[in-house]
Structures are given as structure tokens and as C-alpha cells.
Amino acid sequence: MNKTRILIIEDNDDIRESTAEILELAGYEVMQAENGKIGVEVATRNLPDLILCDIMMPELDGYGVLYLVNKNSQTAATPFIFLTAKAERLDMRKGMEMGADDYLTKPFDDVELLNAIESRLSKKEKLQQFYSQSLDRLTHLLGNTPGIAELHKMIAGRKVRTVKKKQVIYYDGDTVSGIYLVLSGKVKTTKLSEDGRELLTGIYSSDEYFGVPALLLNEPYTEAAEALEDSTICLLPKEMMEELLNKYPAVGKQFIQILSNNLIEKEEQLLQLAYHSVRKRMAEVLIRLCNREERSERSERGERLERTERSKVGTRQDREESSKKNNEHPDSLEQSTGLILKVSRDNLAAMAGMATETVSRILSDFKDEEIIERKGSQIVILDQLRLKNMKN
């Protein structure tokens, strides 16, 4: 079994050698570099499983090392821990924003060091499993398109970014940095009117891309993106995507298809805003959210069945129980009553193009008519058919 390889980049000989000794005793294979420039060369040549790096160093400081490591597709996903005597909040924030995974403030003890390393390696292993499942889903969505293998390599080589609920990913007018892929959670894109009112232009969930128009048009983002809930996303850099699209036109065709579908949805949204009553608009919004939730649920069930078929493990009883559970949750619209939507009044207002007070009034009417139920910030859909057939 291959040992886990750790690279220590530290200009202080005593700290570097004592840290290496601790890690070797713990069973790790250790590589050392006495400055940032040598450290980048060693990392590129040997591809370590984790990097420990000092900040203040000659030749190239820790921030420069992190920048170059992240720029290289082969090392971009490598867990990176700063070793520093600087414990100021601004320094820590700068490192985290650049993509560092953790900070260890000198002097640190053996247990603190080993715990930090084990934690990051464990997280890396879980993310690799997570990526594997996500890439399986993307293969199912995009098929065997020429160049899809290159897209998979690009995604698997990028570092996951975790965003909290309501955290802004980019603003309207920001320079395009690439295309984003949602791995888990939900992200919304919005535009603001001159008087500050928000219009929700899209909601993106697992395995969906956003920021596509800005990349294809080579223009700044024309809308803002914000996490609707705690989410994990992956940025596919502009330079890499442009190279991939130029090399494999079939991949570009897939993204144009995504763009076309988004355009159709926005045209329907404009039609509703122009001609539908507020009740009809709210019903249409709820139906769109229902359809999205149902697609997500069907996709997840399909993945589970596909993985079960591929693995071909387990007893006949296990398979019968799995089949029974799937039969208990049919995909038909008629039996999907009780679907729960987690959406705020503000987001409903932004999607429907109306005031939050109007949203509250309409939802109260729908509740009185037994079309929906309210449970805190959740909406339980009781009758999708009546929502679909809502008169204008």
C-alpha cells in the first residue's frame, strides 16, 4: 500500500526537519523544500497528497506558492495548509479566499498537526467519492460526447468551494472567471431594477451549470449569483473552458443547448410577467419549482438503481426490498401530492415579479382553498392539478 505523501515548504531548517520527523513517525512519506520556488517545483514534479507551507519565505512567499499550485491543474485539488506565525484575521482571510484549506499557527504541537492533516485527507477522500458520483450523473446527462472525458478531468482536478446560504458568488458586472458547476445545494441568479427590486432569473441545483452566457459571449456577468442554501460548487476557469470548447466543438454544442433551454425559460417568464394575473403567475412559479424538485428526485432514484445494477451485489431479498421501496414512490404527478418546497417569500416575489405582500396574500388564499399548506418557511403542495389549471 502506497504511503500518503506530504510536502513541507519551510525556510526554517529546525521547524521543517522537526515537522518532517513527526510525520515520518506517523507513517507518512515526507518531501521537503527550503523555499517557495523549490516547493512549487517539487509539488509539480512529485504531486504530493497534501502540502504544508510557510507564508514568510525568500524567493517566493506562501501566497505565491498557493497561487501557482492552484493554477496547475495537476495540483489544484491538493489540500493546502499554511504554517504561520502570523495569526492576524486579515492574513487568515486572505489565505482562505485564495483557496487555502487550513491554518496552523506556530508553535503548534504534534496532536494539532496530525489532526489537521488527517482531517484534510479525510475530506479529500470524501470529495473524491462525491466527484465520482457527480461525474457519473454528468455522463448520463451529456452522453458519450467527444471531449466529455477531458471535461471530467477538468472538474475532478478543481478544488470544491463551499458557499453558505445567501453568500454571493459573483456580482452583476464582474469580469467572467469561468463557468460554475453546482455539485450540491441550490444557487439563484438575479438582476436588480433601478429602484432596487430583485428579479430572479434562474435557479440551479445539482449537476447544473451557471455563468454560461458570460463565458460564451466573452462579456462581464450580466446578473448576480447567490447561494439559496448551503452549497458546494466548482469553478471551471475561463482559459481551460475556452481551450476545451475550441478543441471539442461537441462540448460547446452541449453548452449552447443549456443556453437555449435557459433562454426558453426566460421567454416564458417574460410572457407570464406581461399577461398573467398575480394568482396565475404565482401558480406557474410553484409548478416550476415542483417540476424541478421532481426531476431532482427522479435523477437521484435513477442513480441509485443504476449503481445497484452495476454493482450486482446483495442478496435477492435486498433487491426485492429495494424494488419495493421504489414502487412505493412512483413518479406520476397524481401521486406527488405533499411535495415540500423550501423557498422564502422574497425569492417567490423575485421569481414572480411581485411584492412580498402580494405573495403573502396569494399564498394565504391558496391555503384557504386547500391548494397548499404552510409549515414555517416550507410550502407543502397539496394539489398540483389545480395549480396547473389556475385561471388567468
Considering the domain architecture, whether residues 350 and 302 belong to the same structural domain is answered as: yes
Domain boundary (200, 220, 255) is at 255
Considering the domain architecture, whether residues 249 and 289 belong to the same structural domain is answered as: no
C-alpha cell at 281: 403567475
Considering the domain architecture, whether residues 207 and 118 belong to the same structural domain is answered as: no
In a domain, residue 128? The reply is no
Q: What is the pLDDT of residues 364-385, one digit of tens each?
A: 999 999 999 988 778 999 998 9
DSSP-derived 3-state class of residue 248: coil
CATH code, 282: 1.10.10.10
**Of the candidates 67, 80, 81, the residue with the CA atom closest to the CA atom of residue 37:** 67
Count Cα atoms within 13 angstroms, Cβ side, for 61: 6
C-alpha cell at 286: 410553484
In a domain, residue 131? The reply is no
Q: Tell me how far apart the alpha carbons of residues 24 and 30 are, in angstroms, rounded to a whole number.
A: 7
Pair 276, 284: CB distance under 8 Å: yes
Domain boundary (107, 123, 139) is at 123
Amino acid identity at 241: M
In a domain, residue 263? The reply is no
**Has this prediction a pTM greater than 0.75?**
no
**Of the candidates 235, 241, 240, 273, the residue with the CA atom closest to the CA atom of residue 254:** 241
Q: Tell me how far apart the alpha carbons of residues 187 and 269 are, in angstroms, rounded to a whole number.
A: 18
Dmax over Cα atoms in the chain, in whole Å? Answer: 77
- pLDDT of 151 reads 67
Helix segments in the chain, DSSP class H = 13-25, 36-46, 62-71, 89-98, 110-142, 148-156, 212-217, 238-247, 249-275, 278-311, 316-327, 345-352, 356-368, 384-388
- For the stretch 138-146, contacts whose Cβ atoms lie closer than 8 Å and that sit 24 or more positions apart, written own/partner, are 138/207, 140/302, 140/303, 140/306, 141/207, 142/254, 145/248, 145/250, 145/251, 145/253, 145/254, 146/248, 146/250, 146/251
Q: Tell me how far apart the alpha carbons of residues 280 and 388 are, in angstroms, rounded to a whole number.
A: 9
Considering the domain architecture, whether residues 109 and 36 belong to the same structural domain is answered as: yes
Pair 353, 199: CB distance under 8 Å: yes
In a domain, residue 231? The reply is yes
Cα angle at 273 between 270 and 278, to 5 degrees? Answer: 155
- pLDDT of 3 reads 83
Cell 410550502 -> residue: 379
Range of the domain at 72: 5-123
Torsion over CA of 319, 325, 331 and 335, rounded to 10 degrees? 160
Domain boundary (123, 156, 179) is at 123
Q: Tell me how far apart the alpha carbons of residues 186 and 227 are, in angstroms, rounded to a whole number.
A: 6
| Structural domains in the chain (count) | 3
In a domain, residue 344? The reply is yes
181 pairs with which residues across the strands? 209, 234
Considering the domain architecture, whether residues 118 and 173 belong to the same structural domain is answered as: no
Q: What is the pLDDT of residues 186-224, one digit of tens each?
A: 899 998 877 778 888 888 888 788 998 888 888 999 999
In a domain, residue 75? The reply is yes
DSSP-derived 3-state class of residue 206: coil
Q: Tell me how far apart the alpha carbons of residues 367 and 143 are, in angstroms, rounded to a whole number.
A: 43
Considering the domain architecture, whether residues 251 and 280 belong to the same structural domain is answered as: no
Considering the domain architecture, whether residues 207 and 307 belong to the same structural domain is answered as: no
Considering the domain architecture, whether residues 43 and 88 belong to the same structural domain is answered as: yes
In a domain, residue 262? The reply is no
For the purposes of burial, counting CB atoms within 10 Å of the CB of 114, is it exposed (0-12), middle (13-18) or buried (19 or more)? Answer: middle
Considering the domain architecture, whether residues 246 and 154 belong to the same structural domain is answered as: yes
CATH code, 241: 2.60.120.10
Pair 46, 37: CB distance under 8 Å: no
Q: Tell me how far apart the alpha carbons of residues 238 and 386 are, in angstroms, rounded to a whole number.
A: 45
Cis peptide leading into residue 330 (ω within 30°): no
Pair 359, 282: CB distance under 8 Å: yes
- pLDDT of 10 reads 93
Q: Tell me how far apart the alpha carbons of residues 161 and 84 are, in angstroms, rounded to a whole number.
A: 23
In a domain, residue 134? The reply is no
Considering the domain architecture, whether residues 213 and 311 belong to the same structural domain is answered as: no
DSSP-derived 3-state class of residue 171: coil
CATH code, 108: 3.40.50.2300
Q: Tell me how far apart the alpha carbons of residues 212 and 254 are, in angstroms, rounded to a whole number.
A: 11
| Residue numbers of the chain with a pLDDT score lower than 50 | 140-142, 314-316, 319, 325-326, 328-336
Considering the domain architecture, whether residues 235 and 317 belong to the same structural domain is answered as: no
Considering the domain architecture, whether residues 281 and 215 belong to the same structural domain is answered as: no
